Amino acid sequence: MKEYPKVSILIPTFNQSRYIAQAVESALAQNYPHLEVIVSDDASSAGTRQVLQRFTSDPRFQYKQNLKRRGRVGNYRLALYEYARGDYVLNLDGDDYLIDESYISRATELIQKHELIMVFAKQQVLIEKSGAIIEDTINSDLPKIIHGNWLFINYYRGYSIPHLSTLYHRETAMQIGYYTEDILSSDWESVLRLLVNHDVGFINAFVGVWRKYERNVSKSLDIPQTIANTAYIEKPYACVAGQDIFETPALDKWRQEMLKRYFIKMLAKTLLSKDNETHQELLRTIQEYDREIYAEVQRDIGFTIIKIVSPHPRLRRLVFKHILKMESFLADLE
């Protein structure tokens, strides 16, 4: 008889009663036979428990309510370290949802066949204000089995590991301190370190939907928060630099390219929102942070293109979709 490792789908939420039922339904719709679905409610003000009442008869479902707020990343940690009992974990935010009922089955089969630390896939992006569903073309050239060191050192080339699609080994994640950094990109910081010295799997399919709306944490640009978020690059860099894995020039290039890519996206936000004051302040802050990175940003052809097309709606849509491969990023700001 085939053995199925236990999988925990964790759904951290805070005041998302409007969306949470869809997230839970999509998790329970998975056809994987050894599954638990856990909502970790971070002391929501009202409504969440009532909305989820209809799922309590399903033995796979658990509802946990924090007595006091832990914060977004603190709630991630609580769910992973204390609530989950699975061998593998997928974190599905309370306003997102899965669309492939066979995804967990396919991912665990790949994990068992190739002894992988994690599997990830692609996500659609729902722009709530327009109802548009966007399918970015990132990751489409990746093979099914990837050495994590290769993906790590090439990550700046435009690859992305969607949080809602990442099924990872729980025990290993806890050993390396998953969700330690209380920053916006805590998921990327964690997964970049998890990649190192492991094989990972990729399923070239859209398996979930990331909902983007005005109250998303990732929507706003706060400069101190933006700088703090560089930890998702700096901490993995420091972690790997202490090991004999990559040659120093290649690793230093990785840091430079990752920071440049990140800062250009943040600068693009201010350009597209026509917030010149914040744009200039961010430029000054980047220069203070790292003069070499600042110079690389100014020389970057992609950044030059963004500056040229940002005032022209039709042209920028064409460029962001077909050249920069950032259609969903633009749609979220328009």
pLDDT, residue 37, reads 98
Q: Element (H or E) spanning 174, and its range?
A: helix 170-175
Report pTM.
0.93
DSSP reduced 3-state for 109: helix
Residue 12 Rama label (left phi>0; alpha psi -120 to 50; beta) = beta
| Cα–Cα distance, 66 to 332 (Å, whole number) | 31
Task: Kindly give, in sequence order, each residue whose CB lies less than 8 Å from that of residue 86, ignoring residues fewer than 6 positions away.
Answer: 5, 6, 7, 8, 36, 170
**CA torsion through residues 132, 259, 268, 76, sign:** positive
Count H helices, E strands: the chain? 15, 10
Q: What is the number of residues in the chain?
A: 334
Q: What burial class does residue 153 get, using C-beta atoms within 10 Å of its C-beta: 0-12 exposed, 13-18 middle, 19+ buried? A: buried
pLDDT, residue 111, reads 98
Please report, for the chain, the start and end positions of each structural domain, with discontinuous segments joined by +.
7-212, 220-333
Task: Kindly give, in sequence order, each residue whose CB lies less than 8 Å from that of residue 93, ignoring residues fewer than 6 positions away.
Answer: 11, 12, 13, 23, 163, 164
DSSP for residue 80: I
| Cα–Cα distance, 15 to 17 (Å, whole number) | 6
| Cα–Cα distance, 97 to 93 (Å, whole number) | 8
Does residue 207 contact residue 121 with C-beta atoms inside 8 Å? yes
Ordered per-residue pLDDT tens for the chain, 334 residues: 578 999 999 999 999 999 999 999 999 999 999 999 999 999 998 889 999 999 999 999 999 999 999 999 999 999 999 999 999 999 999 999 999 999 999 999 999 999 999 999 999 999 888 888 999 888 888 999 999 999 999 999 989 999 999 999 999 999 999 999 999 999 999 999 999 999 999 999 999 999 987 544 444 579 999 999 999 999 999 999 989 899 999 999 999 999 999 999 999 999 988 889 999 999 999 999 999 999 999 999 999 999 999 888 899 889 888 888 778 877 767 6
DSSP for residue 10: E
Q: Element (H or E) spanning 75, and its range?
A: helix 72-78
Compute φ and ψ for 280, nearest 5 degrees: -65, -40
CATH number for the domain running over 7-212: 3.90.550.10
